[in-house]
Structure 1
Amino acid sequence: MFTAIFGSVELGIIYAIMALGVYLTFRILDFPDLTVDGSFVTGAATAAAMITLGYNPLLATAVAILVGFIAGCCTGLLHTKGKINALLSGILMMIALYSINLRIMGTTTEAATRPNIPLLNTDSIFSMFGAFWTTLPIDESFKNMLSGFISGAVPATVGTLVLVIIITFAIKFIADWFLKTELGLAIRATGDNKRMIRSFSANTDNYIILGLGLSNALVAFSGALVAQYTKAADVSMGVGMIVIGLASVIIGEAIFGTKTIVRTTLAVVFGAIIYRIVLAIALRIEWLDAGDLKLITAIIVILALILPQFMSKLKEKKRKAKRKQQFEASMKEG
């Protein structure tokens, strides 16, 4: 059980990057972007294809982020310049990316398209950082003890865990800073009230395109990391990714609140981790198997949506009962 939970925490931290991307569109821009299901695979496919062809994993990941950014901008252009409905723009781009992803993975073979790329005997960001971990000037006995504990208890190296924590929280802090800049505030205002921003002669179309580009860049980054972590990229790995991202955002907001940007982004990160832990525990129930993954996801999202409302109504009911008691007591005293 401990091994499964630790693995879920590690994977949850990686998926938190994708959840932050979903948060940018659904909460900040108020844009229902379904491009996520395609751009996640695009990031994974781009990174996997370049690594297989012999490129440095860092370069492959950087290109994956760029490709994701371009995909998001295309969705924004369809909506703003093509005047296509926001939901339909994301669906159209998601469909287009399915074929594009097959083409990207096909660059590693003689065939034009390919549905998956294994990365079993290749370097990755994690293996590079794992090698770097061994060169750190830390007491050797402590390092061996820690590495021995991790290797004996969980399916990951110390370097992998440290790296994903550094990357995810670095992105979280950068997002916090960016959303407080003049440009970030303009994007937030565009999501809140487009008409008001246009009244100040601001080009909201550019803000929407940029916001969607940044969102899908994060999603593609997460996809590239997941591909290197799981040692495989598959064309179907992005199915339902938007639901997972929304589940992470909703769970985090329900538990930790949304009073400030800093608190909300932190809630999204922990929401992704909690989601993976709940999923891992649920899949260990005897009468559930991997085929029930989407059903479990749907149930988690439904509960995350309903429970806060139920708790809010319950608290309001208690407040009303308390006020009634106070009123009756004051009437008796009077």
Structure 2
Amino acid sequence: MSMYSLWGALEIGLIFGLVALGVLISFRILRFPDLTVDGSFPLGAAVAATLISAGFDPFAATLAATLAGALAGAITGWLNVRLKIMDLLASILMMIALYSINLRIMGRPNVPLITEPTVFTLLQPEAVSDYIMRPLTLLVAVVAIKFLLDWFLGTQIGLAIRSTGSNPRMARSQGIATGSMVLVGLAISNALCALAGALFAQSQGGADISMGIGTIVIGLAAVIVGESIFPSRRLLVMTLAALVGAVVYRFFIALALNADFIGLHAQDLNLVTAVLVTVALVIPLLKQKLRIKKGVR
């Protein structure tokens, strides 16, 4: 695998690390099966690409995309909390609605950004190649977001969100408005996913209506792979594991698709994903069985 492919895998892995953090909040912390991700990821891309192509500042467009994702997550929570729609069904309804909303925002199936300025081109120094500078820029941004998220989840509101996911009945008995915490948690989760979509569109040169297909699977794969590498319940380690899992996942994908002796092609991406997730799920079970056998002996 070439050095260019390695830097590219790191770049995409860091972007999907934000998706992994969002999935971590919804699935692991809130215990909410949120499929809105498949709609909020392309929502962020659609908003950012449309605004940038209309002449808006890329940083302002990225912020607007993040806020749009937060709104989508909050609506999913509202459907569940206020209208009492089952959590999984509420997220599916929002995901379906976002497909049409994204088409409305873009006005067409895709919006190119090949000749438009992006956050990466604005931060690009002439002395450094873009395929190196983009991953480095993303690394700084993602690490900063990781520590900001760690800090937030340690605040009073963050602890209330974590309590809502761990034991909602106990949280309510302590005076926590669990419904509001679900709305806030899902808003943050989908804001991160929309931010990832906005950055992905600017990195890959455009937004496409189909770019969100399978995003939730990638996010879950990153979380599961990360947990198999760093099996810990500490928050700082969990967020780090999600980021590392996303990068490792993309490296394995790049390695599998670029290894000529395996014979895989781009259309085999979902197959590789399924195999990686299966392996990540099986490894902890095998470790547990080995511990049991050693204990018996």
TM beyond 0.5: yes
Aligned-residue sequence identity (percent) comes to 49
CA distance in 1 between counterparts of 2:11 and 2:296 reads 44
Q: How does 1:167-178 map to 2 (within 5 A)?
A: 167-178=141-152
Tell me, yes or no, if structure 1 residue 103 matches structure 2 residue 78.
no
From 156, 161, 174, the equivalent of 1:187 is 161
The one-letter code of the counterpart of 1:190 is: T
SS in structure 2 at match of 1:156: helix
| Contact 2:30/2:166 (<8 A) preserved | yes
**Unaligned residue ranges in structure 2 (runs of 5+):** none
The ranges of structure 1 where at least 4 consecutive aligned residues each deviate by more than 2 angstroms after the TM superposition are none
1:105-137 CA distance string (max 9 Å, x none): 01xxxxxxx11111100000000110xx35xxx
1:237-258 CA distance string (max 9 Å, x none): 1100000000000100110122
From 298, 303, 315, the equivalent of 2:274 is 298
CA distance in 1 between counterparts of 2:178 and 2:239 reads 24
The residue number in structure 2 matching 1:139 is none
**Unaligned residue ranges in structure 1 (runs of 5+):** 107-113, 135-143, 322-334
The one-letter code of the counterpart of 2:120 is: F
From 109, 114, 125, the equivalent of 2:119 is 125
| Contact 2:4/2:131 (<8 A) preserved | no
Q: How does 1:1-334 map to 2 (within 5 A)?
A: 1=1, 2-106=3-107, 114-130=108-124, 133-134=125-126, 144=127, 147=128, 151=129, 156-158=131-133, 160-286=134-260, 287-321=263-297
Cα offset, 1:15, TM superposition:
1.0
The residue number in structure 2 matching 1:109 is none
CA distance in 1 between counterparts of 2:156 and 2:289 reads 38
SS in structure 2 at match of 1:117: strand
SS in structure 2 at match of 1:32: coil
CA distance in 1 between counterparts of 2:117 and 2:295 reads 59
Cα offset, 1:29, TM superposition:
0.2
Cα offset, 1:3, TM superposition:
2.1
SS in structure 1 at match of 2:207: strand
Cα offset, 1:284, TM superposition:
1.8
For the aligned residues, what is the CA RMSD? 1.1
Q: So what's the TM-score if we normalise by structure 2?
A: 0.96
1:140-164 CA distance string (max 9 Å, x none): xxxx5xx3xxx4xxx7042x22210
| Contact 2:10/2:135 (<8 A) preserved | no
CA distance in 1 between counterparts of 2:178 and 2:37 reads 22
The residue number in structure 2 matching 1:137 is none
1:267-300 CA distance string (max 9 Å, x none): 1111000000000011123421111111111111
CA distance in 2 between counterparts of 1:259 and 1:89 reads 28
CA distance in 2 between counterparts of 1:171 and 1:83 reads 32
CA distance in 2 between counterparts of 1:204 and 1:35 reads 20
The one-letter code of the counterpart of 1:59 is: A
Which has more radius of gyration? 1
Of 83-92 and 303-312, the range deviating more from structure 2: 303-312
Cα offset, 1:79, TM superposition:
0.3
SS in structure 1 at match of 2:131: coil
The one-letter code of the counterpart of 2:169 is: R
CA distance in 2 between counterparts of 1:244 and 1:304 reads 13
SS in structure 1 at match of 2:56: coil
CA distance in 1 between counterparts of 2:30 and 2:274 reads 24
How many correspondences in the alignment?
Answer: 294
The residue number in structure 2 matching 1:324 is none
CA distance in 1 between counterparts of 2:7 and 2:70 reads 31
CA distance in 2 between counterparts of 1:47 and 1:280 reads 27
Cα offset, 1:206, TM superposition:
0.2
Q: So what's the TM-score if we normalise by structure 1?
A: 0.86
